Amino acid sequence: MKFSSSSHAARIRRLLCAGAACAIALALPAAHAQKKYDPGASDTAIKIGQTMPYSGPASAYGTIGKVEAAYFRKVNDEGGINGRKIEFISLDDGYSPPKTVEMTRRLVEQDQVLLMFNQLGTPSNTAIHKYMNTKKVPQLFVATGASKWNDPKDYPWTMGWQPNYQAEAKIYARYILKTRPDAKIGVLYQNDDYGKDYLKGFRDGLGDKVKMIVAEASYEVTDATVDSQILQLQGSGADTLFDITTPKFAAQAIRKAYDSGWKPLHFLDGVSASVGSVLKPAGLDKSVGVITTIYGKDPTDKEWENDPAMKDWTAFMKKYYPDGSLTDAFNVYGYSVAQTLVQVLRQCGDNLTRENVMKQAASLKDFSTPMALPGIRINTSATDYAPIEAMQLVKFDGTQWVRFGEVLGD
């Protein structure tokens, strides 16, 4: 058979065009198939739910939800996540577990959010723990350090974010054993899962020296003050205080101890380590010497004055949350955990199923938020649901937290 070069070329062109058309036809459904959505996600939006105590005894934490909403507005202004805008629905549960249950059910079943994000409080999250896992809806980056959130085998839909309460408490216990082996310790704690988790870690950290604890006093979240508990601990002869309290009660404890003339070495749990929300209301002069742990850059620390990340955070606050305090560590916390969620959602790409959200949350490798302390990195896996496992001891000098020692883990 003979054919001219021109006819041969034409035939090749026809074959190539046909092949290309076929390839495009095959590629289009494949590309379309790559987009997977569960309720709460679409081509244009990602719907996220939250409960937060904007009122009630833990209302100092309400600023966390506000700064997160502000950060999501910033993300939306910059084009969203892979072209999708975040719809953030944050409701006030007043730090009341029954309200948390009611509002979570509404957000999941009626509003049909893709996931629940950074809900605050150990009792509140405990109340919805089984529900979220039965529904297979992500209960992601809960705002509590209870050890129970790191249980991917039995509760694969729940993950924490901040350091573990028990690990933190062990750091205080070891420091006391090393520096004050003859200490007489008084413990003030909130009488719920949060307080008891810290207390367990502290007792475990003291080990066979647990008898160094000479007195314990608990309070209910509905109590007006902890003044009587502080006087009880003072009367026990304790010279060291481990203060396991949420912000309102932490400020009261610091103030009452000072005003009553009691000057123990004062250890404050990290969930109340805010200059703006705790130490200022207590009195900065009355807070001198308080020790706690941090894992994020303290906005009152002059060390970070010229730090690019601190400058970015300050500029963000002034533009998107001008009413927010520039001395409140909770605003650094909310900003950082929101950045972590955005990273997870970016990793999801066009596969915005609840299963993939958890898969990506469990696939963070050496991720660091800009406002994390140097050396603090986030790592997760299918068997490790504890994103942050390191922290550093700090002491308040009347103006700011001053870091000392090394970055520590459990």
- Domain containing residue 352: CATH number: 3.40.50.2300
Could you give the count of Cα atoms lying within 13 Å of 223 in the half-sphere of its Cβ?
A: 19
Give the model's confidence band at 410: pLDDT under 50 very low, under 70 low, under 90 confident, else very high. Answer: low
Let me know whether 112 and 175 are in one domain: no
Let me know whether 144 and 201 are in one domain: no
pTM: 0.88
Evaluate whether residue 403 is within a structural domain. Answer: no
Let me know whether 244 and 202 are in one domain: yes
Residue numbers of the domain that contains 115: 45-162+304-389
Give the model's confidence band at 158: pLDDT under 50 very low, under 70 low, under 90 confident, else very high. Answer: very high
Let me know whether 376 and 346 are in one domain: yes
Residues 6+ apart with CB under 8 A from 315: none
List, for residues 169-202, the tens digit of each pLDDT value: 999 999 999 999 999 999 999 999 999 999 999 9
Let me know whether 229 and 129 are in one domain: no
- From the number of C-beta atoms within 10 Å of its C-beta (0-12, 13-18, 19+), residue 208 rates as exposed
Rg (CA), the chain: 26
Evaluate whether residue 407 is within a structural domain. Answer: no
Residues 6+ apart with CB under 8 A from 271: 145, 194, 246, 247
Strand duo 401-403 + 45-52: pairing: unpaired
Cα 379 to Cα 386: distance, rounded to the nearest angstrom: 8
Let me know whether 172 and 268 are in one domain: yes
Evaluate whether residue 34 is within a structural domain. Answer: no
Let me know whether 246 and 325 are in one domain: no
H helix and E strand count, the chain: 12, 14
| Phi, psi (degrees; rounded to nearest 5) at 363 | -130, 30
Q: C-alpha distances in angstroms, 290 versus 74, 99, 148, 155?
A: 35, 34, 28, 36
Q: C-alpha distances in angstroms, 331 versus 61, 174, 188, 328, 387?
A: 9, 30, 26, 6, 19
H/E segment holding residue 337: helix 329-348
Greatest distance between any 2 Cα atoms in the chain: 111
List, for residues 89-145, the tens digit of each pLDDT value: 999 999 999 999 999 999 999 999 999 999 999 999 999 999 999 999 999 999 999
Number of domains in the chain: 2
